[in-house]
């Protein structure tokens, strides 16, 4: 990336940050005013100190009453400074954490509206890292910027003004050495942004790997992949170590470099000021005041250099957050989108084309008409497009060409919510949330009574194992189901659908984790549930689809055979080979 592009990217990120900050312009204004008050009081104290020094002329010639008056003024100035500092810090904290709250809310809102295409292509750990860790690091840099940047800049301008009205020649010495501080700050700042950006990306990669490994620890152990995963982590960790060391190295240059410049300024003022004082051009008190100003003038450069480095770090993290916030959201429902109510279940796919990756074809000119109440089974080898058809029916993805109609209306003209509410869906992968068994079954119908939930659980043959749990239906489970078996988790998902009973059903390997005896009972329950409802059944076990009205045999995204169980066996084609491979005995 060229230097110009990098600068343009940084400026664009800063504009986005300012867009969030401007909502709190009144507090920003208050913070600026208080920063000016703090600096004015801080710069007033050296003047008082210089006046006190001039009241000490010689042994026995000390104006003690005058010194006590000055000490009172210094005490009042210090108290007012402390109060102003506290109020300013409170305001800055409020601004920072409300900005962070706004950014997190926008990021989470975008997550809920991102198309599944994006979520399927990104690692979950990296997304979590952006919303949690990156925002926290950005907050640290932003808070430091508010706390130190305002006071630092105003201190520099204020001390310059006071030094110029006190003694112009000595002030010019300070101004001549000042460019060294700018050169040091520029040298550090131009190198830290790239390094912190690389660090943030590598840390996101590391978070993604850890999240994946923690979530799939059983699979890792089953296939003895501990060494391979450890090696992969070691490589990422090594990369993180290298880029972090570089970033921290340049960051650590800030303090010694700025201290060196501070010493140059202080020494220059001390030597030149002493020569002027010897000639009677300035009093000792004023010189001590000037030395204090020289120290205060250079100190903000030290702070600002650190702030710039932190802001470079913060901008690098913010760029990743804004990249997520600005991702293209899923196509919203049309302004005149209709609500699908009382769906009859007439589903028609006409000349449907779809592919996940542009150069890899999948669904090609797919046509299917399903009458209300029909049971349609979809079979075929892995990767032939069975689950893709389900994704298109639910409008998790939109078709590239063609159309899908429900009761004669293109699903793109329906609201997503009403379309998906019209389907009951049980997948091979179970999804449970942290909460009670009762809450998990009630998910699709929050207003359901406990009696209705129990009736649904009985229909799904889940009631017996639920009653054996410590608290029955009020047993609290974790997000992944905790100690429940895969079969028990799937029964809970089936009970969910039994409770809602929508007009259309999608069963994608719905009984894959259930024992044969329970499966027979579930199949009977499904048969009762599917009566009068349009049903799509994806199955690898062909024994579960013998009673289907229509069986679609798919291969490479196309329907190659179609008919009921008996007619497909009679054809002696691909379906018969699949069937015989499972029931060779």
Residue pLDDT tens, the chain, 585 long: 556 666 777 778 888 888 888 888 888 889 888 888 888 888 888 778 777 777 775 566 767 788 888 889 889 989 999 999 899 889 888 888 888 889 889 888 888 888 888 877 777 777 887 888 788 878 777 777 766 777 777 888 888 887 787 778 877 877 777 777 667 766 776 677 677 778 877 887 888 788 778 777 778 887 888 888 889 889 988 888 888 888 788 777 776 777 777 777 777 777 877 887 777 777 777 777 777 777 777 677 666 666 776 777 777 778 888 888 888 877 788 788 888 888 888 899 898 888 887 778 888 888 888 888 888 888 888 777 788 888 888 888 888 899 999 988 899 889 988 888 888 888 777 788 888 899 989 987 888 899 999 998 888 888 888 898 888 889 888 877 777 887 788 888 888 888 888 888 888 876 666 677 767 767 777 777 777 888 888 876 666 677 788 888 888 777 888 888 888 888 888 888 877 776 654
Q: Are residues 373 and 345 in contact, defined by beta-carbon separation less than 8 angstroms?
A: yes
Encoded tokens for 433: 């949330």
Its CATH class, for the domain covering 3-325, is: mainly alpha
d(C-alpha 41, C-alpha 81), whole Å: 6
Closest CA to 125 of 223, 226, 236: 236
Residue 82: its pLDDT value, please?
93
d(CA 142, CA 134): 12
Question: CA-CA distance, 453 to 495, in Å (whole number)?
Answer: 8
Distance CA 304, CA 309 (A): 8
- Nearby residues of 475 by Cβ (< 8 Å), 6 or more positions away: 436, 437, 466, 469
What is the C-alpha to C-alpha distance for residues 546 and 565, in angstroms, rounded to an integer? Answer: 6
CA distance linking residue 431 with residue 259, whole number of Å: 57
**Is the dihedral angle over the CA atoms 102, 106, 112, 116 positive or is it negative?**
negative
Residues 6+ apart with CB under 8 A from 470: none
Answer whether 171's CB lies under 8 Å from 101's CB: no
Q: CB-based contacts of 419: which residues, under 8 Å, 6+ apart?
A: 340, 394, 395, 406, 411
CA atoms of 168 and 50, how far apart (whole Å):
17
pLDDT of residue 11: 79
Q: What angle do CA 43, 47, 52 make, to 5 degrees?
A: 140
State how far the Cα of 94 lies from the Cα of 140, in Å rounded to an integer.
13
The answer to whether the beta carbons of residues 456 and 493 sit under 8 Å apart is no
* 327 vs 116: CA distance, rounded Å: 12
- Decide: 506 and 393 in contact? Cβ < 8 Å: yes
Select from 484, 529, 370, 512 the least CA-distant residue to 427. 512
Kindly report the number of other CB atoms within 10 A of residue 17's CB atom.
20
């Amino acid at each position: 990336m060229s230097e110009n592009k990098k600068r343009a990217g940084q400026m664009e990120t800063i504009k986005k940050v300012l867009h969030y900050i401007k909502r709190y312009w009144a507090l920003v204004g208050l913070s600026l005013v208080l920063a000016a008050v703090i600096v004015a009081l801080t710069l007033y104290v050296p003047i008082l100190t210089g006046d006190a020094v001039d009241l000490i002329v010689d042994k026995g010639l000390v104006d003690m009453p005058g010194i006590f008056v000055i000490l009172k003024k210094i005490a009042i100035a210090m108290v007012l400074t402390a109060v102003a500092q506290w109020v300013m810090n409170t305001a800055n904290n409020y601004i920072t954490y409300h900005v962070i709250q706004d950014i997190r809310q926008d990021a989470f809102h975008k997550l809920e509206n991102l198309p599944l295409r994006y979520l399927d292509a990104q690692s979950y750990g990296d997304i979590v890292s952006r919303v949690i860790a990156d925002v926290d690091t950005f907050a640290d840099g932003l808070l430091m910027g508010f706390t130190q940047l305002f006071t630092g800049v105003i201190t520099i301008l204020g001390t310059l003004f006071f030094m110029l009205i006190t003694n112009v020649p000595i002030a010019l010495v300070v101004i001549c050495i000042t460019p060294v501080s700018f050169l040091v700050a520029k040298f550090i700042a131009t190198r830290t942004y790239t390094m912190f950006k690389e660090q943030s990306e590598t840390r996101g990669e590391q978070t993604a790997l850890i999240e994946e490994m923690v979530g799939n620890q059983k699979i890792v152990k089953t296939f003895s992949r501990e060494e391979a995963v450890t090696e992969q982590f070691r490589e990422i960790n090594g990369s993180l170590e290298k880029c972090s060391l570089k970033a921290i190295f340049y960051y650590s240059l800030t303090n010694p470099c700025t201290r060196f410049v501070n010493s140059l300024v202080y020494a220059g003022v001390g030597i030149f000021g002493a020569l002027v004082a010897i000639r009677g051009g300035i009093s000792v008190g004023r010189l001590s005041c000037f030395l204090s100003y020289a120290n205060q003038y250079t100190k903000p450069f030290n702070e600002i250099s650190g702030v710039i480095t932190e802001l470079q770090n913060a901008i690098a993290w913010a760029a990743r957050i804004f990249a997520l916030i600005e991702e293209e959201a899923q196509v919203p429902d049309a302004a005149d989108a209709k609500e699908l109510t009382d769906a009859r279940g007439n589903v028609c796919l006409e000349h449907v084309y779809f592919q996940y990756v542009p150069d890899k074809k999948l669904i090609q000119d797919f046509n299917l008409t399903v009458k209300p109440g029909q049971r349609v089974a979809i079979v075929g080898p892995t990767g032939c497009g069975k689950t893709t058809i389900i994704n298109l029916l639910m409008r998790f993805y939109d078709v590239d060409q063609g159309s899908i109609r429900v009761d004669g209306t293109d699903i793109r003209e329906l609201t997503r919510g009403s379309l998906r509410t019209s389907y009951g869906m049980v997948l091979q992968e179970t999804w449970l949330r942290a909460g009670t068994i009762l809450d998990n079954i009630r998910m699709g119908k929050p207003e359901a009574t406990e009696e209705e939930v129990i009736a649904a659980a009985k229909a799904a043959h889940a009631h017996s194992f639920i009653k054996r749990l410590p608290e029955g239906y009020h047993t609290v489970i974790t997000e992944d189901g905790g100690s429940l078996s895969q079969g028990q988790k799937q029964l809970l998902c089936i009970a969910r659908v039994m409770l809602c009973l929508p007009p259309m059903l999608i069963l994608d390997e719905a009984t894959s984790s259930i024992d044969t005896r329970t499966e027979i009972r579930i199949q009977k329950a499904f048969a009762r549930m599917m009566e009068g409802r349009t049903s799509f059944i994806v199955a690898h076990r062909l024994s579960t689809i013998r009673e289907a009205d229509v069986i679609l045999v798919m291969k490479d995204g196309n329907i190659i055979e179609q008919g009921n169980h008996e007619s497909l066996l009679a054809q002696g084609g691909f379906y018969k080979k699949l069937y015989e491979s499972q029931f060779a005995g």
